[in-house]
Chains A and B, each alone.
Chain A
């Protein structure tokens, strides 16, 4: 992530935030979709704060360890003193009694209310950043408390909202699809930046699920062969196992015998999660170029160097981009999640840089119907037929 930005490189929202908004008194809630530059703005306003008040006590509070690393890199790149503490909200709530003049907090939509009250009590001024549309967790993973309802963030910390509408990360087609999924969300692409590769969204109809899986695996193999990264994203562990089972059958391999992770062994079968390390070993032993990544199983770098296709859940894909993304089984019987269905679906939808394949058999899922017009519709059977070369076009004059 480029942290060093000059005023002439900012979009108008960002410019206004740095030049005007942060100079006003009161707490601020920076609202913006992923890729709108929230984190960069947080760190720049921290820098401005320290310029004005070099002795101010400041801290950065974030959700995960990886965000800590990301912010530390930013601080270093902007030559901000290394004594600025960057911590998780757990540490901020449980281990810090210190009061700060300024606290900057990212991914606020994933925090429980308790953390927000702590921000309010322990800081003179709070600038938080987040996006209600990205909240995919119901409870926090340590205290198991409900994650804050995003509508309450402003209220709890008494912050005025500042909205970033321009999205620099996503390309035109994906932004259009997201706009159709969330009509009330005002996001748009960087206006004149037509230079990014737009994602090609293919909506692929299959004659049956076997054909769907066969097509996905074939396309993914072509992509990994040229060094592209590829991910097959599914909403639940159950659908992952379904995909795997079909894939194994298609490749004339025996089905994987379910093995639960060690700590789920005593749970009832329906609550057991698969031991994906065992599954990954099974893939390897059967020479299948696929790897599950997530929840401490598998590895991105390993998959990339081995030219494996990655298979993972929508949840686990948050924050990660791939050249090509496949979302299988998108028909009307697909179960995504009782709550936050749209948000989770959008997380998966926004992961690709080049090609996004939405595949289905039967009738498309309601969520897909909302942005069908943005997709290139194709029949998988026709493509497979063409490849068998009997129908290949040879009517060329060059």
Chain B
């Protein structure tokens, strides 16, 4: 009999337990003499490189089993009786799994836990690389990325993420590298919430990289304060021009430059993008074309910011849109066209005067972008999001725009509504929209089929389903 160790997905283990047998490729096992030494523990790290990655350490066990040695087998058939021990990957995983599996199963101590960080770091490297690859694809970047990654330093990236993982805050890092501190950094100060605020952040990170507890008191801080008091909402690109022409911050500029990159540009761009993405739960909601257009002017510095962004969020944040853009062959319908034709064929929410805007349309059921089928309203002088629900055949047939749909749904539910209440409702559902009664009248008048009518009740104007249609 030969002893084997092998990682096994918990899901597979459950089926193994239920059916009493399973198969494991021989390449994913380690033969040993029955005593687990450091050598086997190190080999496990290698085996984990050729199995599916995992997010949580309770998704895998390592099993110890014995079988007759048969060198001709490429796939080992294992019976439940062959199992000798089951090792969770960590103490935490042990606690979590113990309450969920058959209580008669004895989980061993997690003796491989010391190697878990190495296993996880291998997965993390792939995660970072795939995230950057997907961003390169989504942002249609033609430039080479490897040199840029080298300029930032993959070790600095990993270190920065380690700080985060271990809960080490940027202001506590001593003798840290700028890029690592930047990745570990979160804003705890009350810096302005306009674009210039991200330059305060960059200054703070720069101060931390010089072991200062704050950059308050520096010439840069004084310059930022002065600029903010005069132009609180100055745009990013204008501020960069100002910064580069300002004598008092020459030392900051010269010190925060590398061969290739302007750190004082990369850092605010990255932090700005990071905050924008944090606010949304779905990367698909961003208007990527607008981003490409805006980031283009920052050249290679924007590319570096995207590298940091990919490393920070990981592939998890981007895979959904990436797959859609790739048009995976396993998808039900070809979806590749959805973004490439987005600009021409679909309507968009008006972009506010922000430099790096992200569209976050309010959800009304499931969102679907529909082709434009009417002219935008005169009253609003803007394009209107068309948002309908998959299941709402009625409004789909009627081809309502988002405002009309909100009104239609409300009136359907409440029979009649004050126009003023409808304008409040729209404002609550679509941020930044304020309509008066006249606007509401116009929106209703343009609804296909004139299904809704306006009438006067006491002192207020109300809307209801047109009686002759019901």
Contact = CB atoms under 8 A, between A and B. Distances in A.
A181 B407 CA distance: 50
A58 to B, nearest CB: 19
B232 to A, nearest CB: 11
A355 interface: yes
Interface in B22-67: 55-59
A197 B219 CA distance: 28
A197 B186 contact: yes
Contacts of B187: 197, 354
A79 interface: yes
Interface string B209-233: 0101111111110000000000000
Contacts of B366: 4
A359 interface: no
- Prevailing SS type, chain A contact patch: loop
B212 A191 contact: no
Contact of A223 (B190, B206, B216): B190
Given A186-B95, A188-B92, A226-B193, A398 B206 contact: yes
A197 B278 CA distance: 9
A79 B366 CA distance: 9
Please tell me the size bucket of the interface on A.
35 or more
A176 B166 CA distance: 11
Contact of B99 (A161, A173, A176, A223): A161
B96 A186 contact: yes
B343 interface: no
Contacts of A12: 10, 55-56, 58-59
A176 B167 contact: yes
A11 B255 contact: no
B191 interface: yes
B57 A191 contact: yes
B310 to A, nearest CB: 12
A392 interface: yes
B78 interface: no
Given A188-B92, A191-B57, A393-B217, A228 B190 contact: yes
Contact of B215 (A16, A77, A191, A396): A396
A341 to B, nearest CB: 26
Contact of A195 (B190, B206, B313, B390): B313
B314 A192 contact: yes
A222 B190 contact: yes
B129 to A, nearest CB: 15
Nearest to A202: B188
Given A165-B96, A354-B188, A397 B193 contact: no
Contacts of A162: 100
B362 interface: no
Given A191-B56, A396-B218, A79 B391 contact: yes
A62 interface: no
B164 A163 contact: no
A359 to B, nearest CB: 16
A71 B356 CA distance: 34
B190 A163 contact: no
Most buried by B among A2, A196, A198, A227: A198
Contact of A392 (B100, B217, B313): B217
Interface string A213-254: 000000000110111100000000000000000000000000
B249 interface: yes
A228 B190 CA distance: 9
B169 A200 contact: yes
A200 B56 contact: no
Interface in B196-253: 206-207, 210, 212-220, 249, 251-252
Given A79-B365, A162-B100, 16 more contacts: A11-B56, A12-B55, A12-B56, A13-B96, A77-B363, A79-B390, A192-B55, A198-B164, A200-B188, A222-B190, A223-B190, A226-B190, A354-B188, A393-B212, A398-B206, A398-B255
Interface of A: 2, 4, 11-13, 16, 20, 76-77, 79, 161-163, 165-166, 172-173, 176, 186, 188, 191-192, 194-198, 200, 222-223, 225-228, 354-355, 376, 392-398
Interface of B: 10, 14, 55-59, 92, 95-96, 99-100, 124, 127, 161, 164-165, 167, 169, 172, 186-188, 190-193, 206-207, 210, 212-220, 249, 251-252, 255-256, 278, 281, 312-314, 316-317, 363, 365-366, 390-391
20 contacts: A12-B56, A20-B14, A161-B99, A163-B100, A172-B167, A186-B95, A186-B96, A192-B55, A192-B124, A195-B278, A195-B312, A195-B314, A196-B278, A197-B278, A200-B169, A354-B188, A392-B216, A396-B217, A396-B219, A397-B210
